Amino acid sequence: MTYTPPVYSSPDFQTSQFSDAPITVFRKVVTGGVAPDNYHATSIYPEYFQIHKGEWHLLKESRMDCVVVNRGNDNLAVIEFRHLKVGDMVACGRTEDGSNGIFVHVSGFAFQAGNLSKFAFRTNLSRESSFSIDYDNLYELLEYEKKHGYIVWVLGPALVFDKDARKAFVSLVKNGYVHTLFAGNAMAVHDIEGAFFETALGQNIYTKHASESGHYNHLDTITKIRAEGSIRNAVDKNLIKDGIMKAIVKNSIPYVLAGSIRDDGPLPDVIDDVYKAQDKMRSFTKKATTVIAMATQLHGIATGNMLPSYRVIGKNQIRPVYFYSVDMSEFAINKLADRGSLSAKSFLTNVQDFVVTVERGLKNRI
């Protein structure tokens, strides 16, 4: 089987609900960073605005909890509140049924829910859930996205604490299944530590044996990379012999390492201004069609908040954006998946096993 994108059904703008609707109201920003009263906040769903009578315009690059600014010439920009400038014209109206010239389309994709009786066992995701079909569906999706989409991976450090998982993800990079990588300082540090010392936080990534004075290893790793000025410089000098960051650099895959208040070092590539990191991540999430977040609530939730449930491809093709969360914690995956997105899916499993399984499953399809 091969993946086929679900068909998107546009609203019928010929009905009275829309033909009788007013033009969208736009109000001027008088104080930078402050939206006017009754501003409209965006959601994850496709949203339409009636700029001229009978002309409904779809937001092409949306994300939730932002505002819509009319740039003129029917150009609608979705921006964060902090980027509002004096004079910007912001869409206003709190109803979403068209009565304010704004329509939020929540049923564009006809995802089918399983038919359930009034009483049924195991309807909630748990450690006992079956994931065989989910893996098969993911293989099909990744094969499709490799050629037709944009795949963003969001990695927590747990992935690189295992030799086989680290090797499997490198294979995914080399075989074209990774288009952008998001992570924090820790993932990159421990991946490179694995290249330098074959440890992560001082523990061997295969035998799990603690090395002597191993608690220095990640600090020595940071120091070495800082001395080189960047991860790329260390890769170019062949100082980093293997691992995810080397594969990312060698294959010209863009990455964003977003800093946090708990970071050691950090590595010179880490963006230490959280808002600059957010803007950098959004430059890639606006292209994403599938996102897979693994064992990182911090960066996973942040990425999820940047995603709409759809993407406009080309001039008029509208397709869903898929968001996967992978974690051993039921709380974590429910938190990550609870975004209101019809395309959010979860795997409750060890992320190391997940990556090895995905790499093996994709390889077996060749």
CB 62 within 8 Å of CB 311: no
- Over residues 183-215, the pLDDT tens digits come to 999 999 999 999 999 999 999 999 999 999 999
Model confidence at 109: pLDDT above 70 = yes
Higher pLDDT, 112 or 222: 222
- Over residues 56-94, the pLDDT tens digits come to 999 999 999 999 999 998 899 999 999 999 999 999 999
Within a 10 A sphere around the Cβ of 31, how many other Cβ atoms?
A: 10
Half-sphere exposure of 17 (CA within 13 A, CB side): 11
Instruction: Give the Cα separation of 67 and 78 in Å (integer).
Output: 6
Q: In the structure, what pLDDT confidence band is assigned to residue 110 with cuts at 50, 70 and 90? A: confident
Instruction: Give the Cα separation of 124 and 121 in Å (integer).
Output: 9
Q: In the structure, what pLDDT confidence band is assigned to residue 129 with cuts at 50, 70 and 90? A: confident
- Over residues 138-190, the pLDDT tens digits come to 999 999 999 999 999 999 999 999 999 999 999 999 999 999 999 999 999 99
Q: In the structure, what pLDDT confidence band is assigned to residue 365 with cuts at 50, 70 and 90? A: confident
Model confidence at 295: pLDDT above 70 = yes
Q: In the structure, what pLDDT confidence band is assigned to residue 112 with cuts at 50, 70 and 90? A: very low
- Over residues 16-67, the pLDDT tens digits come to 999 999 999 999 999 999 999 999 999 999 999 999 999 999 999 999 999 9
Tell me what pLDDT residue 343 has.
64
Write b or e for each residue in 252-264: b if 16 or more Cβ atoms lie within 10 A of its Cβ, otherwise e. ebebbbbbeeebe
Q: In the structure, what pLDDT confidence band is assigned to residue 342 with cuts at 50, 70 and 90? A: low
Tell me what pLDDT residue 74 has.
85
Mean pLDDT of all residues belonging to the chain: 92
Model confidence at 128: pLDDT above 90 = no
Query: For the range 50-58, what are the long-range contacts, defined as Cβ-Cβ under 8 Å and sequence gap of 24 or more?
Result: 50/18, 50/21, 50/22, 50/23, 50/24, 50/98, 50/101, 50/102, 51/23, 51/24, 51/76, 52/23, 53/23, 54/13, 54/19, 56/11, 56/13, 56/18, 56/103, 58/312, 58/318
Percent of the chain with pLDDT over 90: 81
Structure tokens at 36: 């006017």
The residue among 185, 173, 273 whose CA lies nearest residue 221 is: 185
Tell me what pLDDT residue 185 has.
97
Tell me what pLDDT residue 39 has.
98
Sequence-ordered alpha helix ranges (H) in 182-295:
185-197, 217-228, 231-236, 244-250, 274-285
Q: In the structure, what pLDDT confidence band is assigned to residue 220 with cuts at 50, 70 and 90? A: very high
The CA radius of gyration of the chain, in Å to the nearest whole number, is 23
Q: In the structure, what pLDDT confidence band is assigned to residue 113 with cuts at 50, 70 and 90? A: very low
All structural domains of the chain, each given as residue ranges with its CATH number in brackets, are 16-104 (2.40.420.10), 132-365 (3.40.50.10690)
Model confidence at 115: pLDDT above 80 = no
Tell me what pLDDT residue 111 has.
56
- Over residues 303-335, the pLDDT tens digits come to 998 999 999 987 778 999 999 999 988 877 777
**Strand-strand pairing, 180-183 and 255-257:** parallel
Helix/strand/coil (H/E/C) assignment for every residue in 66-92:
CEEEECCCCCEEEECHHHCCCCCEEEE
